[in-house]
């Protein structure tokens, strides 16, 4: 299918609108009337849904997520319901979570850490990850969860850029990925290893230059008073990928919790008695904003599943835990579709009442499949690392146009803009005209900067607008439709991958002269990472060399970032200024017209 044909398929009218009727909704949605809620919305009202630190000492994410519930009627409610890979369960009530996060906050202070110090977490979805992030926020450290499937190189880049002072990880991950890069990280003063069981604790206690989690925590008091926290104090650091250069560290502040909370309430429709499951890993922003913070600030039970996607396991979790609100991703939904309705037959999923999806545009077929499989459509929504929370969404009460990302949250003003040559932008008012998606700056969870990159941060704005880098259009009813990325960033299984990071790792191999990396469309992952490499003199293309390069990239980058396909190419097309033309590589890969080649220095053919 050509690009224009696939674009056509996303246009309104190609799939019938899914009309919501009041009777069908069951529980009244928090956002009952979109237009009315939007007209009445004020951010200080949303701020008023939170408690603030006692005595007017400010606003702290962890207080809103944990402490305020632990001292009220929700104290004995399950805050985290963790399901381990082997099926083991661990439950933390809000009261338990308060004690554990207090202990970790005390541990950080005992190690001399405090305001502004970066605490990184590198682990699978284990309870200690959640405790560490929330405990760090209490101690006013900056919390940064890293994806455990990253290889040593992406980890080193991020730990260096973020000036990590303490890292919580597991013994296995430490040995495999961190020990080798530790000498490059002089600022990393402490590494805390989480081990399993008594024997594990002893073994981990033997790893040089590390602390053992259980030993560290055992010595701490379960009481902690969160220090005064200004809403603008730094809280979270999330890394995202750009087209060129190193990853960007987006800084978020404690005030972001206002957005986390209200979007959980409106876009995910969280009600007091909900059992919520967000399948994202906290190593990505969704897994932090909606896998940790929003469900807890809303006081619901947050289900955490350690295992990676497996349809039978997931359906089992939905049934057994009586999950009512489920936030997942297109890749997983498409894998479930492949499995078919048959696989669902023996499960009772009647507790599910709201389905949402994020990470990349959800194709209309998948939206509709939700109705066949679960009795209701998947509700796609849109946001990115920089926005900190959901910005555009399909709501429980609002008709769904399959393929559309929905309409902006109350309090969020979105627009389609055209960039002018002088850097200014002009709004496009006409419906269904493609342009860049922009958001009026100033919502609480907007990033406050890219770490150490003031210039890159400033370039993300034009006048009052934050420019998202996503191309989109708006229809006459105000629904937004994703068109594509404005840059070369790759979106694979909902994760942004910077081609430059992959190219750099490939170039480190002695055989590689140059590398160009693109996102190749894939029916399941959206895109997969594909690399084109040209070889240095003395090397010839072979299957053995292809495997060697693939192994090299996987070792350095980890499975999620490394290419899935590598092609040899005699020379890569470059612009006159020497930049590899990824767009042209992509056009060739897809058999599309190559467009204007006049800026090319050398054509590979």
Backbone angles phi, psi at 182, to 5 degrees: -60, -40
Residue 287 within binding range of other proteins, rule CB under 8 A: no
Choosing from 356, 560, 581, 585, the residue that interacts with other proteins (CB under 8 A) is 560
Q: Quick count: other Cβ atoms within 10 Å of Cβ 575?
A: 12
CB 255 within 8 A of CB 442: no
| Number of helical H runs and strand E runs in the chain | 22, 30
Closest to other proteins by CB, 365 or 399? 365
d(CA 132, CA 101): 7
Residue 306 within binding range of other proteins, rule CB under 8 A: no
Choosing from 170, 468, 492, 534, the residue that interacts with other proteins (CB under 8 A) is 492
Look up residue 290 and give its DSSP letter: I
Identify the sign of the CA torsion 3, 8, 9, 11.
Answer: positive
Both tokens of 265, joined, read 């309430």
Residue 559 within binding range of other proteins, rule CB under 8 A: yes
CB 301 within 8 A of CB 81: yes
Measured from the CB of residue 150, what is the shortest distance to other proteins in angstroms? Answer: 10
Q: Which stretch binds other proteins (CB under 8 A): 460-468, 502-510, 534-542, 556-564?
A: 556-564
Closest to other proteins by CB, 32 or 335? 335
Measured from the CB of residue 493, what is the shortest distance to other proteins in angstroms? Answer: 7
Closest to other proteins by CB, 438 or 561? 561
Choosing from 75, 111, 311, 587, the residue that interacts with other proteins (CB under 8 A) is 311
Residue 328 within binding range of other proteins, rule CB under 8 A: no
Choosing from 339, 349, 587, 600, the residue that interacts with other proteins (CB under 8 A) is 339
Both tokens of 46, joined, read 């949303």
Closest to other proteins by CB, 168 or 553? 553
Both tokens of 374, joined, read 């679960």
d(CA 235, CA 447): 11
d(CA 475, CA 217): 54
d(CA 406, CA 408): 7
Measured from the CB of residue 167, what is the shortest distance to other proteins in angstroms? Answer: 19
Measured from the CB of residue 556, what is the shortest distance to other proteins in angstroms? Answer: 9
Residue 97 within binding range of other proteins, rule CB under 8 A: no
Choosing from 3, 51, 196, 308, the residue that interacts with other proteins (CB under 8 A) is 308
Residue 230 within binding range of other proteins, rule CB under 8 A: no
Residue whose entry in the numeric block shows the structure tokens 């400010």: 58
Burial 513-552 (b: 16+ CB within 10 A, else e): ebbbbbbbbbeebbbbbbbbbbbeeebebeeebeeebbeb
Choosing from 340, 375, 442, 464, the residue that interacts with other proteins (CB under 8 A) is 340
Burial of 43 (0-12, 13-18, 19+ CB in 10 A): middle
Tell which positions 561-600 bind other proteins, by CB under 8 A: 564
Tell which positions 494-553 bind other proteins, by CB under 8 A: 522, 524-525, 528, 547-548, 550-552
Residue 554 within binding range of other proteins, rule CB under 8 A: yes
Closest to other proteins by CB, 149 or 293? 149
Closest to other proteins by CB, 11 or 335? 335
Closest to other proteins by CB, 499 or 558? 558
Q: Which stretch binds other proteins (CB under 8 A): 189-197, 252-260, 337-345, 367-375?
A: 337-345
SS3 446: coil
Closest to other proteins by CB, 29 or 152? 152
Choosing from 107, 149, 256, 317, the residue that interacts with other proteins (CB under 8 A) is 149
CB 405 within 8 A of CB 480: yes
Residue 43 within binding range of other proteins, rule CB under 8 A: no
Cross-strand pairs, 301: 275
Cross-strand pairs, 437: 416
Closest to other proteins by CB, 159 or 545? 545
Choosing from 44, 342, 596, 605, the residue that interacts with other proteins (CB under 8 A) is 342
> Which helix (H) or strand (E) segment is 191 a member of?
strand 190-194
Closest to other proteins by CB, 30 or 493? 493
Q: Which stretch binds other proteins (CB under 8 A): 287-295, 303-311, 392-400, 533-541?
A: 303-311
**Residues contacting 152, CB < 8 A, separation 6+:** 177, 178, 180, 181, 555, 556
Q: Which stretch binds other proteins (CB under 8 A): 233-241, 314-322, 334-342, 513-521?
A: 334-342
Residue 347 within binding range of other proteins, rule CB under 8 A: no
Measured from the CB of residue 216, what is the shortest distance to other proteins in angstroms? Answer: 26
Closest to other proteins by CB, 543 or 596? 543
Beta strands in 406-564 (DSSP E): 407-408, 414-419, 425-427, 435-440, 449-450, 461-462, 465-474, 480-485, 490-492, 495-497, 512-522, 526-535
Q: Quick count: other Cβ atoms within 10 Å of Cβ 284?
A: 24
Binding mask 440-479 for other proteins (x = CB under 8 A): ----------------------------------------
Query: Which of 59, 124, 165, 450 lies closest to 304 in space, CA to CA?
Result: 124
Residues found near other proteins in the complex (CB under 8 A): 149, 308-312, 331, 335, 338-340, 342-343, 492-493, 522, 524-525, 528, 547-548, 550-552, 554-555, 558-560, 564
């Amino acid at each position: 299918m050509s690009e224009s044909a696939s674009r056509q398929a996303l246009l309104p009218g190609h799939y019938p609108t899914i009309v919501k009727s009041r009777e069908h909704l069951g529980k009244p949605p928090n956002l009952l009337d979109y237009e009315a809620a939007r007209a009445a919305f004020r951010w200080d009202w949303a701020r008023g849904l939170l408690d603030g630190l006692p005595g007017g000492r400010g606003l702290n994410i962890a207080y809103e997520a944990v402490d305020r519930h632990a001292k009220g009627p929700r104290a004995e409610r399950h805050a985290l319901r963790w399901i381990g890979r082997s099926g083991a369960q661990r439950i933390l009530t809000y009261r338990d979570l308060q004690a554990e996060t207090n202990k970790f906050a005390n541990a950080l202070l005992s190690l001399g850490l405090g305001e502004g110090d970066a605490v990184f977490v590198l682990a699978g979805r284990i309870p200690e990850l959640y405790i560490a992030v929330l405990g760090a926020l209490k101690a006013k450290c900056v919390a940064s969860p890293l994806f455990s499937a990253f290889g040593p190189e992406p980890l080193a880049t991020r730990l260096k850029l973020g000036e990590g002072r303490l890292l919580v990880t597991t013994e296995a991950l430490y040995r495999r990925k961190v020990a080798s890069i530790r000498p490059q990280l002089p600022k990393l003063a402490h590494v805390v290893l989480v081990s399993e069981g008594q024997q594990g604790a002893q073994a981990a206690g033997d790893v040089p230059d590390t602390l053992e989690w259980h030993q560290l925590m055992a010595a701490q008091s379960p009481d902690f008073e969160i220090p005064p926290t200004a809403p603008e104090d730094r809280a979270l650091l999330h890394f995202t990928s750009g087209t060129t250069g190193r990853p960007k560290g987006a800084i978020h502040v404690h005030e972001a919790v206002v957005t986390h909370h209200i979007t959980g309430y409106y876009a995910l429709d969280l009600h007091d008695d909900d059992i919520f499951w967000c399948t994202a890993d906290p190593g990505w922003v969704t897994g932090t904003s909606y896998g940790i913070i929003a469900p807890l600030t809303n006081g619901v039970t947050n289900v955490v599943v350690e295992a990676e996607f497996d349809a039978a396991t997931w359906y089992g979790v939905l049934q057994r835990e009586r999950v009512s609100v489920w936030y997942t991703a297109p890749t997983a939904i498409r894998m479930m579709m492949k499995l078919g309705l048959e696989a669902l037959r023996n499960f009772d999923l009647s507790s599910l009442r709201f389905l949402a999806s994020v990470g990349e545009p959800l194709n209309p077929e998948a939206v509709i499949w939700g109705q066949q499989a679960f009795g209701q459509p998947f509700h796609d929504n849109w946001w990115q690392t920089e926005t900190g929370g959901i910005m555009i969404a399909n709501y429980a009460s609002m008709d769904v146009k399959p393929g559309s990302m929905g309409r902006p949250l109350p309090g969020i003003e979105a627009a389609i803009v055209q960039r002018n040559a002088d850097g200014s932008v002009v709004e496009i008012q006409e419906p269904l005209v493609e342009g860049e998606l922009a958001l009026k700056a100033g919502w609480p969870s907007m990033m406050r900067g890219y770490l150490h990159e003031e210039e890159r941060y400033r370039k993300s704005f034009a006048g009052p607008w934050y420019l998202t880098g996503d191309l989109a259009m708006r229809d006459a009813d105000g629904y937004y439709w994703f068109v594509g990325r404005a840059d070369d960033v790759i979106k694979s299984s909902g994760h942004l991958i910077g081609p430059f990071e992959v190219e750099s790792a490939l170039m480190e191999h002695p055989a590689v002269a140059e590398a160009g990396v693109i996102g190749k469309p894939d029916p399941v992952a959206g895109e997969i990472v594909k690399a084109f490499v040209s070889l240095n003199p003395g090397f010839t293309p072979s299957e053995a060399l292809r495997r060697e390069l693939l192994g090299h990239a996987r070792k350095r980058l980890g499975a999620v970032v490394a290419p899935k396909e590598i092609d040899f190419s005699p020379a890569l097309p470059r612009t006159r200024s020497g930049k590899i033309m990824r767009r042209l590589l992509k056009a060739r890969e897809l058999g599309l017209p190559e467009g204007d080649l006049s800026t090319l220095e050398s054509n590979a053919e």
